Amino acid sequence: MAKSKLDELVSFCKQAGFVFPSSEIYGGMSAIYDYGHHGILLKNNIRDCWWRSMVQERDDVFGLDSAIFMHPTTWKASGHVDSFDDPQMECKKCHTRLRADHLLEDFGINADKESIEVVNKYIDDLRAQGKQIKCPNCGSTDLTPAKRFSLMVKSNIGSPTDELTEESVVYLRPETCGGIYLEYKNVVDSMHPQLPFGIAQVGKAFRNEIIARQFIFRTREFEQMEMQYFLRPEEMAERYEYWRQTRWAWYLDLGMDESKIRWFKHIKLAHYASQAYDIEYNSKFLGGFKEIEGIHTRGDWDLSQHSKFSGADLTMWDEKTQSKILPNIMETSVGLGRLVLMFLDHAYNVENVDDKTRTVLKFDPRLAPVKAAVFPLLRNKSELVDKAHALAHQLRQIYQIEFDDHGNIGKRYRRQDEIGTPLTITVDFDTLEKDEVTVRERDTMAQERVAISKLPEYLRAKLGF
Ligand code: GAP
Residue of the nearest CA to atom 2 in ligand 1? 333
Query: 138 near 146, Cβ under 8 Å?
Result: no
For residue 276 and ligand 1, the question of a CB distance below 6 A is answered with: no
For residue 54 and ligand 1, the question of a CB distance below 6 A is answered with: no
Average pLDDT over residues 404-426: 97
- Amino acid identity for residue 416 in this structure: Q
Which among 62, 7, 18 has a CA at the least distance from the CA of 363?
Answer: 18
CATH class of 370-463: alpha beta
The pLDDT tens digits of the residues spanning 293-337 come to 999 999 999 999 999 999 999 999 999 999 999 999 999 999 999
Average pLDDT over residues 247-255: 98
Query: 189 near 310, Cβ under 8 Å?
Result: no
Average pLDDT over residues 376-397: 97
For residue 402 and ligand 1, the question of a CB distance below 6 A is answered with: no
Query: 264 near 369, Cβ under 8 Å?
Result: no
For residue 298 and ligand 1, the question of a CB distance below 6 A is answered with: no
User: Which pLDDT value is given to residue 321?
Assistant: 94
Question: H or E element: which one contains 101?
Answer: helix 100-105
The pLDDT tens digits of the residues spanning 171-203 come to 999 999 999 999 999 999 999 999 999 999 999
Sketch the domain layout of the chain as residue ranges.
5-69+174-345, 85-148, 370-463
Measured in angstroms, how far is the CA atom of residue 278 from the centroid of ligand 1?
Answer: 10
Residue of the nearest CA to atom 16 in ligand 1? 335
Q: Which residues contact 319 (CB under 8 A, 6 or more apart)?
A: 194
Better-scored residue on pLDDT, 14 or 168: 14
Question: What's the predicted TM-score (pTM) here?
Answer: 0.94
What span, in angstroms and rounded, lies between the C-alpha atoms of 215 and 7? 9
Predicted confidence band at 230 (pLDDT cuts at 50, 70, 90)?
Answer: very high
User: Which pLDDT value is given to residue 2?
Assistant: 55
User: Which pLDDT value is given to residue 166?
Assistant: 67
For residue 292 and ligand 1, the question of a CB distance below 6 A is answered with: yes
Which among 186, 193, 199 has a CA at the least distance from the CA of 225?
Answer: 199
Measured in angstroms, how far is the CA atom of residue 133 from the centroid of ligand 1?
Answer: 27
Question: H or E element: which one contains 252?
Answer: helix 236-253
* pLDDT surpassing 70 at residue 135: yes
Measured in angstroms, how far is the CA atom of residue 293 from the centroid of ligand 1?
Answer: 7
Average pLDDT over residues 122-140: 92
For residue 86 and ligand 1, the question of a CB distance below 6 A is answered with: no
In CATH terms, the fold of domain 5-69+174-345 is: BirA Bifunctional Protein; domain 2 (3.30.930)
User: Which pLDDT value is given to residue 414?
Assistant: 96
* pLDDT surpassing 80 at residue 72: yes
Measured in angstroms, how far is the CA atom of residue 101 from the centroid of ligand 1?
Answer: 17
* pLDDT surpassing 60 at residue 457: yes
What span, in angstroms and rounded, lies between the C-alpha atoms of 73 and 62? 25
What span, in angstroms and rounded, lies between the C-alpha atoms of 409 and 438? 12
User: Which pLDDT value is given to residue 160?
Assistant: 59
Measured in angstroms, how far is the CA atom of residue 201 from the centroid of ligand 1?
Answer: 14
For residue 201 and ligand 1, the question of a CB distance below 6 A is answered with: no
CATH class of 85-148: alpha beta
425-430, long-range: CB < 8 A, 24+ apart: 425/372, 425/373, 425/374, 425/375, 425/391, 425/455, 426/374, 426/375, 426/376, 426/377, 427/374, 427/375, 427/376, 427/377, 427/384, 427/387, 427/388, 427/391, 428/377, 428/384, 429/377, 429/384
* pLDDT surpassing 80 at residue 164: no
Measured in angstroms, how far is the CA atom of residue 291 from the centroid of ligand 1?
Answer: 9
Average pLDDT over residues 31-50: 98
Predicted confidence band at 4 (pLDDT cuts at 50, 70, 90)?
Answer: confident
The reply to whether domains 5-69+174-345 and 85-148 share a CATH topology is no
Residue of the nearest CA to atom 18 in ligand 1? 335
In the three-class reduction of DSSP (H, G, I as helix; E, B as strand; rest coil), residue 298 is classed as: strand
For residue 209 and ligand 1, the question of a CB distance below 6 A is answered with: yes
Ligand 1 atom nearest 209 alpha carbon: 23
The pLDDT tens digits of the residues spanning 339-370 come to 999 999 999 999 999 889 999 999 999 999 99
Mean pLDDT of the chain, nearest integer? 95
Residue of the nearest CA to atom 27 in ligand 1? 335
User: Which pLDDT value is given to residue 358?
Assistant: 95
What span, in angstroms and rounded, lies between the C-alpha atoms of 460 and 439? 13
* pLDDT surpassing 80 at residue 165: no
CA distances from 403 to 243, 349, 350, 389, 413 (A): 41, 24, 24, 7, 12
